Amino acid sequence: MNPEKESCLVEVLDRLLNKGAVLNADLIISVAGIPLIGVTLKAMIAGMETMLEYGIMEDWDKSSRELYARAETHLPLFPGEQILYKAFGYLREEEGLIKCWVPGIWNITSHRVILWIKTPGKVLFETPLENLRVLRVPASHEVRKELELIYPHGSARISLSDRNEFEEALAGAAEAMVVVRNHLVITSG
Amino acid sequence: MVESQNMVKEARYLYSVARTGHMARLGSIGIQENNVYTVPYKDIAAIVHACEAKPYQTEDKKLAEEWVLEHSYVIDQATKMFGTVLPFSFDVIIKGDDDVVKDWLCRDYEHLAGELLRMQGSAEYSIQVYCDYDYLEKMVLAKNQELGDLKNSIEKEPKGKAYLQRRNLDLKLKSLTRSEAGWLADQFCSEIKPLVKELKTAGRTSWTPEKYRGKKLLASYTCRVSKEAVKKLGEVLEEINCKEGFFVRFTGPWAPFSFVCLSGAG
């Protein structure tokens, strides 16, 4: 078969905005030392949410801060539910044949473990704290620290930079939940 | 350069670096019909247009896309004229005039000339292998005696037990299909690798061409291939494409966007 020169716009944009050579900041136009390599265009075309989500454009300029504020969403919680812990991390996703790590913010609340993506505001994963177990698993990547969340109907592979902190927070949340439940049982009894 | 940022008015929009020692005009093919020309130093040259010292910005998405396509067009034209070029990312603008560009080429000559030599006679291609997941599953089921037996026995079981066994079968089948897919992807990769100079596994894109909708992406590669090897690579890909349940998308040639390495340059 012969290669086709046909390429769709998405691919051309990806190639030109995300690949290709760049130069050091001292030679090219920059503001406060930050190279202006089509930042605004990249943001607009390549997906504003990605750049905002990873803080690429945070504190960049007034307009992007405003945009960030507009784009900010809040994790929907149940009445009485509280966020106890938040950390950036990943979820292993195996969709069909493709395996990848999906980034987001891990939240441990008084009721659930949730992977939340701020922009556009989406819950990527959630499971109740009840009957949740967590296992340390060998890393599939040398710098990545991985954990397995085991819940009644399945399991999920996750990754955080500080898994001790996550495990502690999870243990704390589970303990608090038991205390609350006992309290409810006692008072209702 | 001692001039402060605010004082720099002139700038050069950089498209690529090519192997030519001559001054040449490529015409008004640049972004917003700017005149594109070469700034040579020794046997290499930067392909630029003169612009103001500010980045290209717009709120108009259509216009932005137009600029990116214009940038891409200049790189294609430069490749036709000078052979493989070192393509630059969109909106790389050098502060200063042609002399500043020349200074940069002079300072970085070894690196740029070396990189041009490394890229010479090759181009970037992308390869995606898609598969029909149902077909792959059928193939796995046909090959695996144990799963075949389990499937047959389910028919005879009472409703409740049959449900559990079907779930069990589904899980096993999915897992085996996944390993089979992984094995096949490795297999294809090992057939492609000897024919290319460099190979990178490309990330998953959110976009699937119409022709391949509903199929699963099994593998996606970006490779740098020498002119002579393209035909052979095409033959190998055709063999994969002819296998039942598999579909290959082979596109290119492009300038070596994914392989040009100028870290430390500038």
Choose the mutation target among A4, A6, A17, A27 for the interface with B, i.e. most B CBs under 10 Å: A27
Q: What is the pLDDT of residue B86?
A: 95
Residues A91 and A162 in one domain: yes
Residue in the structure block whose two tokens are 């930050």: A34
CB contact under 8 A, A28 and B88: no
Cβ-Cβ contacts under 8 Å, A4 against chain B: 249-251
Q: What is the pLDDT of residue A31?
A: 42
Residue A173 lies in a domain: yes
Residues A107 and A176 in one domain: yes
Residue A78 lies in a domain: no
Can you tell me the distance from the alpha carbon of B135 to that of A80, in angstroms, rounded to the nearest whole number?
49
CB contact under 8 A, A44 and B178: no
Q: What is the pLDDT of residue A7?
A: 67
Answer yes or no: is pLDDT of A64 > 50.
no
Residues A96 and A64 in one domain: no
**Quick count: other Cβ atoms within 10 Å of Cβ B263?**
9
Residue A2 lies in a domain: no
- Helices A9-18, B61-82: inter-axial angle, 10-degree rounding: 80
Read off the pTM. Answer: 0.64
What would the pLDDT profile of A103-114 be if each residue is shown by its tens digit?
Answer: 888 999 888 999
Q: Which helix (H) or strand (E) holds A83?
A: strand A83-95
Residues A177 and A154 in one domain: yes
Three-state DSSP at B46 gives strand
B64: nearest CA partner in chain A: A41
Residues A58 and A142 in one domain: no
Q: Find out whether B158 and B253 touch, Cβ atoms under 8 Å.
A: no
What would the pLDDT profile of B63-89 be if each residue is shown by its tens digit?
Answer: 888 888 999 999 999 999 999 999 998
CB contact under 8 A, B92 and A96: no
DSSP one-letter string for A3-67: PB----HHHHHHHHHHSSB---TTTB-EETTEE-SSHHHHHHHH-HHHHHHTTTTTTS-HHHHHH
Q: What is the pLDDT of residue A187?
A: 42
What does residue B203 show for φ and ψ, rounded to 5 degrees?
-70, 165
Count of domains for chain A = 2
Query: Which stretches of chain A sit within 8 Å of chain B by CB?
Result: 1-31, 36-42, 44-45, 94, 96-98, 100
Can you tell me the distance from the alpha carbon of B89 to that of B68, in angstroms, rounded to the nearest whole number?
10
Three-state DSSP at B186 gives helix
ipTM rounded to 2 decimals: 0.77
Answer yes or no: is pLDDT of A34 > 50.
no
Report domain extents, chain B: 5-120, 123-254
Residue A76 lies in a domain: no
Contact with chain A for residue B237, Cβ under 8 A:
yes
Residues A96 and A24 in one domain: no
Answer yes or no: is pLDDT of A175 > 70.
yes
A45: nearest CA partner in chain B: B61
Task: Print the domain residue range for A61.
Answer: 9-71
Q: What is the pLDDT of residue B206?
A: 55
Can you tell me the distance from the alpha carbon of A109 to that of A91, in angstroms, rounded to the nearest whole number?
17
Residues A15 and A37 in one domain: yes
Closest of B190, B216, B222 to residue B203, by C-alpha: B222
**What average pLDDT does the segment A32-61 reach?**
44
Q: What's A99's domain CATH number?
A: 2.30.29.30
Residues A100 and A149 in one domain: yes
pLDDT band at B228 (very low <50, low <70, confident <90, very high): very high
Residue A175 lies in a domain: yes
Residues A21 and A50 in one domain: yes
B89: nearest CA partner in chain A: A20
Looking at every residue in chain B, the average pLDDT score rounds to: 87
Residues A182 and A120 in one domain: yes
B12 contact partners, CB below 8 Å, separation of at least 6: B39, B46, B48, B49, B50, B51, B93, B94, B96, B97, B98, B100, B101
Residues A88 and A180 in one domain: yes
Answer yes or no: is pLDDT of A10 > 90.
no
What would the pLDDT profile of B237-259 be if each residue is shown by its tens digit?
Answer: 999 999 988 999 999 999 999 99
Q: What is the pLDDT of residue A163?
A: 83
